[in-house]
Amino acid sequence: MMSVNFEELSKLVIDGDTDAIKSAVKNAINDGADPLEIVDKGLAKGIRTVGEKYGKGEIFLTELLMGAEAMKAGMEIINPEIQKQKKELKKVGTVVIGTVSGDIHDLGKNIVTALFSAHGFDVTDLGVDVPNEKFIDKLKELKPDILGLSALMTSTITKQRDIINTLKETGLRDKVKVMVGGAAVNEDFVREIGADGYAENANDAVIKAKDLLK
Ligand code: B12
């Protein structure tokens, strides 16, 4: 296996170089790199740097957008590769997942979704900007084992709390395990809102989910 330059992959995301990222990701895969490693050490590292720079006012929104486009282009090649790694063929559980209303960040959620399904979970992805009622309606309809709520902003993680409260009010709380995630979420918040699980990355999400279903 040839050595993969993860640093270069990060840099291409930071530069927002969509064309170059596609070929670089394809090359990395052909060289035998693990798709998740390409994400963790390369693409996600790059987009987080972009976010930090944007947060500090060092770059403009256009550059944040270009970085996100580059990351997305890379993920379009990686997500099918993650699927190919299907580790377990038997169904291990069902998941309904989505990004909460007011929030359109989905790069991380899509990675979690891809890995869940690669590990034998049956996943229904409701997409982004999902109204609270839609989550509740889908829970009633599909009765999944796990509800996954992604939120990336301090202004939208409150929806995770609201949804859990609605579950309590409607008597559905003990029928489903609620997992939350996204960069603005931390262990303290998870405890505070009474979610069942939290994960900082897709790998942990799968491990926690399997734990919750034991
Ligand atoms: C990319 C990005 C965008 C892209 C999103 C593209 C897309 N399709 O997703 C674009 C450019 C569109 C965007 C827009 C905006 N963004 Co933005 N964005 C980011 C950025 C740089 C990276 C997010 C990302 O994709 N990370 C990479 C992935 C792999 O990581 P992740 O999302 O954290 O996901 C992992 C884990 O969290 C976990 N996980 C995620 N979801 C779930 C769910 C479950 C159930 C579980 C278990 C685990 C889990 O597993 C994932 C895989 O490892 C962040 C910075 C940051 N540090 O997060 C800012 C950031 C989130 N954005 C921010 C802001 C302010 C905005 C805008 C308001 C900007 C504007 N002025 O318009 C808009 C908001 C639009 C909206 N209404 O949602 C702020 C939020 C500030 C805050 N604390 O509230 C941040 C933190 C940047 C900053 N430093 O200011 N953004």
The DSSP string of the chain is: -PPP-HHHHHHHHHTT-HHHHHHHHHHHHHTT--HHHIIIIIIHHHHHHHHHHHHTTSS-HHHHHHHHHHHHHHHHHHHHHHHHT----S--EEEEEEEBTT----HHHHHHHHHHHHTTEEEEE--SSB-HHHHHHHHHHH--SEEEEE--STTTHHHHHHHHHHHHHTT-GGGSEEEEESTT--HHHHHHHT-SEE-SSHHHHHHHHHHHT-
For residue 106, the CA-to-ligand 1 centroid distance in Å is 8
| The pLDDT value given to residue 91 | 87
| The pLDDT value given to residue 3 | 78
pLDDT tens profile 161-211: 999 999 999 999 999 999 999 999 999 999 999 999 999 999 999 999 999
| CATH assignment of the domain containing 142 | 3.40.50.280
| CATH assignment of the domain containing 31 | 1.10.1240.10
- If asked whether residues 22 and 47 sit together in one domain, one would say yes
pLDDT tens profile 114-123: 999 888 999 9
| The pLDDT value given to residue 88 | 57
Between 21 and 86, the more confident residue is 21
Q: Is there an atom of ligand 1 within 6 Å of 159 CB?
A: no
Look up the domain containing 162 and give its range: 93-212
Q: Is the pTM of this model over 0.85?
A: yes
Q: Is there an atom of ligand 1 within 6 Å of 98 CB?
A: no
In a domain, 108, yes or no: yes
- If asked whether residues 73 and 144 sit together in one domain, one would say no
